[in-house]
Amino acid sequence: MIEIKLIRADKLTSGLASESERWREAVAKLEADMVNLMGNMILAAGYQSYVGVFTSSFRQELLEMWKSCCRKKKIKFERTFDIETVLGDPVRVRDWKIKGLPADALSVENGIICMSAKRWPLLIDPQGQGNKWLKNMEKENNLQVTKLSNPKFLKIIEVCLPAGNPVLIENIEETLDPSLEPLLTKDIRKINGQDSIKLGDSWVAISNDFKFFVTTKLSNPHYLPEVCIKVTLINFTVTPTGLEDQLLVDVIKFEQPELEQQRDQLIVQLADFKRQLKEIEDKILKLVSEASEDIVADEELINVLEQSKVTSTAINERVLEAEKTAIVITESRESYRVVACRGSILYFVIADLALIDPMYQYSLEFFSKLFNKRLDSSEKADEKEARIENILHDITNAFYTNICRGLFEKDKLMYSFLNTTSIMRNAGFIDPLEWNFFLRGSPNDHSDQPNKCDFITDKQW
């Protein structure tokens, strides 16, 4: 009996020692978080409430201004503040990406703002990426999709409110129907003991599970202030940098899918380990508080401590493995960025063709499918550099050939010129000032300057 107690005491000491070390680290982290809590929450609240409508670069400018203001006011915040770290959940974000959310940082931020904002989100979504993501994400919750042009849209909302089914109103213009006012302002009142909203002429019960989304295909809408204060405006418009990040994910998934799969598995495993650790912590605290005076006799507590030690060791190993994998993925991603950059350039040239003729309309979905098809069809190579060169050559030629099929003969040379100059400007072969001079001319009158160019006539000069 004494020998058993000695073994248990040894396990208890060892288990508590490892737990003590882990709890000491957790306390230190929590103390640091406590100091930074106010600043983090101020920055997160401001980011969530105000920046959704802006582009990525302007969001960062605003964030830096707010950080500077916090420093002046001596408000502590985390030095490496990041909205995805503060408000995001890695497993949840991964699930969003599976459901169709673009994998670039801007889109992830948009997803976080969309799902955590207090006001209903209104997505500025000319390429339809946000619309597609919402439909995939809420499909299992019986999402109802309608338009303001549908005369029965109020009836659809009236049915979904008490049932808790989400509603998506798509393709709105610059005004919203006045009948949606109580829903947008969340004017909820207790009617017969139930939370209710006045919709039209009647009060309708509202479920806590109800969600409401609005999207527009307008690329640059102007909403009046009375609309902006009732919704959370989120800009899902694709930017060159954002599209580059999205295409980079596609390239990596195709060229080195095992790294992405390993990264996804690590995210899920880490989340599962943390959940297990939290459950074990709660159980340890419960057993310690309920333990008798002879704590060595409590076999369950000793076993739980032993399990906690094994789990925490496994988590530390997984964290180190995740960090190594992240470094490898980052290095591999950057080596393929030139391909994503070329794809982004080609897309925005194609998108600008609509300025030449409104008939030239090409969706981002069409572009993405063709881009991924060319990744598969382009010539393989053993050396990475040769493979990248093959992809660049293939996508450039393939897009030129495919787009020219839909262009008038007179516009093909213009398209070729825009493609070439865009690639050269990105590579630094064309100076931005020279390009601007070529497009717009000089702000000063140089008509009295003599023509010194032998390749153009005096009239052209």
Give the CATH number of the domain where residue 209 resides. Answer: 3.40.50.300
Q: pLDDT category, 18, cuts 50, 70, 90?
A: low
Instruction: Give percent above pLDDT 70 in the chain.
Output: 90
Token duo for residue 418: 């825009």
Single out the residue in 310, 335, 360 at which a domain terminates.
Answer: 335
pLDDT at 379 over 70: yes
Instruction: Give percent above pLDDT 90 in the chain.
Output: 44
117 and 234 inside one domain: yes
137 and 220 inside one domain: yes
- In the chain, the number of structural domains is 3
> For residue 53, is it within any domain?
no
240: nearest Cα among 60, 407, 57 = 57
What is the domain range of residue 368? 337-436
- Identify which has the larger pLDDT, 328 or 356: 356
> For residue 451, is it within any domain?
no
380 and 400 inside one domain: yes
Euclidean distance between CA atoms 162 and 181, whole angstroms: 18
pLDDT at 423 over 80: yes
- The confidence score (pLDDT) of residue 338 equals 93
Handedness of CA 387, 388, 389, 394 (dihedral sign): positive
Single out the residue in 238, 273, 306 at which a domain terminates.
Answer: 238
Single out the residue in 178, 205, 238 at which a domain terminates.
Answer: 238
> For residue 78, is it within any domain?
no
> For residue 297, is it within any domain?
yes
- Identify which has the larger pLDDT, 437 or 389: 389
132 and 201 inside one domain: yes
Q: pLDDT category, 341, cuts 50, 70, 90?
A: very high
- Kindly list the distances between the CA atom of residue 84 and the CA atoms of 111, 228, 422, 442, in Å, as whole numbers in the listed order: 10, 24, 33, 45
Mean pLDDT score, 1-13: 64
Q: pLDDT category, 161, cuts 50, 70, 90?
A: very high
- Kindly list the distances between the CA atom of residue 115 and the CA atoms of 126, 445, 449, in Å, as whole numbers in the listed order: 20, 55, 61
99 and 219 inside one domain: yes
> For residue 124, is it within any domain?
yes
285 and 180 inside one domain: no
Cα atoms in the 13 Å half-sphere on the side-chain side of 290 = 9
